[in-house]
Amino acid sequence: MGLIRSTIIKVFIILIIVFPVFISLKTVAETGAEAEPPIIPVLVYHRVISKVTSIYDFTPEQLEEHLKYIRDNGYTPITALQMVESMDNPEQLPSKPVVLTFDDGHKSHYSNVYPLLKKYGYQGTFFVYTDVIAEKSEKQLTWDELREMLQDGMDIQAHTKSHPYLTKISKHETEAAYQKRLTNELQASKLVIEEQLQEEVKLLAYPYGWFNQSIENVAFRAGYRGIFTVNWGTNLPSADCSRLKRRVMENKMTKEEFETILTARPLPIEIIYPEDAGIINKAPEIQFKIPGFATDKVEIKVRSLVAEIARNEDGVFVWSGLQKLTPGYYLIIVKGHDHENRPFINSWGFEYR
């Protein structure tokens, strides 16, 4: 009797241990895999005006169409600051976050964007450069307007002092003079905004998206905690806060293109050459791997050049399509699809001198 009772107890213990594991394995098998981490798309808008004169201008009606899409498809807008502060605790993120950013401090951000965001109950981030506000032009935001927006839950962050191409060195400018000017561009704007709004500025967006590793170092010494580029792609909670991706919005984008911008997951690229945010003086042969991603062909785009390239026998994607380069920042964009035809995208850049 004692032996039977002992056997029953052992079987019961085994069932307690094994059954939950079986259920867990069954759940994974049914869903296909563990849940993927959330992606965070960051969108960049510029002027929102009635009569557009640039592909980067939106009418209020066009912006509202985007806001409706975001609402109707279950997205929750958060600010850029909320995004950066949640990186260490991604469980704080909503299930489908999106960040709406507006660059350059144009008056339409107060007259058109701000009312639309309030209409939908959304927050946005406004990256402003301080010299243009000091001009007190009727086309630009005022400090009083920015204070009102800040008090109403909007996020105000830095976009440098004068909105220059940060990588450009003047013809007769010494390295020491350039470093001094660069430091002033990044520090002065932060200090002016903090003085005017009485709110710490923690984030920077690069004008035109041009940057390199040296500029990153100056930015972090200036006290920024997160830096936004205009490199294509979405962000994972594990993203490098010194190179956060944002996609510049264009008014000719289709609904399908907008959907892809919001849903494309980061392509797991392993860069071989050129180094991300590196400085080079010779046209590069671009090389990279995509470990763990089941595709043999991807699309590569650098400025106006687009090509489809295949993985070689060593598992490396190689492209030699860049020949004559002019000085500036070059963005390398790589797109692919997985076995379910879901879009994936990633990008990195280099400066050519």
The residues that bridge with 305 in the sheet, in sequence order, are 302
pLDDT 10s digit of each residue in the chain, 353 long? 554 555 545 544 444 444 444 434 333 334 445 678 999 999 999 999 999 999 999 999 999 999 999 999 999 999 999 999 999 899 999 999 999 999 999 999 999 999 999 999 999 999 999 999 999 999 999 999 999 999 999 999 999 999 999 999 999 999 999 999 999 999 999 999 999 999 999 999 999 999 999 999 999 999 999 999 999 999 999 999 999 999 999 999 999 999 999 999 999 999 999 999 999 999 999 999 999 998 889 999 999 999 999 999 999 999 999 999 999 999 999 999 999 999 999 999 999 99
On whether the 42-264 domain is CATH 3.30.56.10, my answer is no
Interatomic CA distance for residues 282 and 351, integer angstroms: 10
- How many Å apart are CA 325 and CA 348, to the nearest integer? 17
Nearest to 226 by CA among 244, 208, 211: 244
Name the one residue in this structure whose structure tokens are 């144009």: 106
Where on the phi/psi map is residue 172: left (φ > 0), alpha (ψ -120 to 50), or beta? alpha
Q: Supply the CATH classification number for the domain 270-352.
A: 2.60.40.10
> Quick one: pLDDT at residue 29?
39
In this predicted structure, what is the pLDDT of residue 7? 52
Closest of 166, 155, 159 to residue 129, by C-alpha: 159
Are the C-beta atoms of 110 and 145 separated by less than 8 Å?
yes
At which residue do the structure tokens 């919005």 appear? Answer: 249
Q: State the pLDDT at residue 4.
A: 52
How far lies 331's CA from each of 13, 114, 229, 328, in Å?
59, 31, 11, 10
pLDDT the model gives residue 15: 46
Query: DSSP string covering 274-335, please?
Result: SPTTEEESS---EEEE-TT---SEEEEEETTEEEEEEB-TTS-EEE----S--SEEEEEEEE
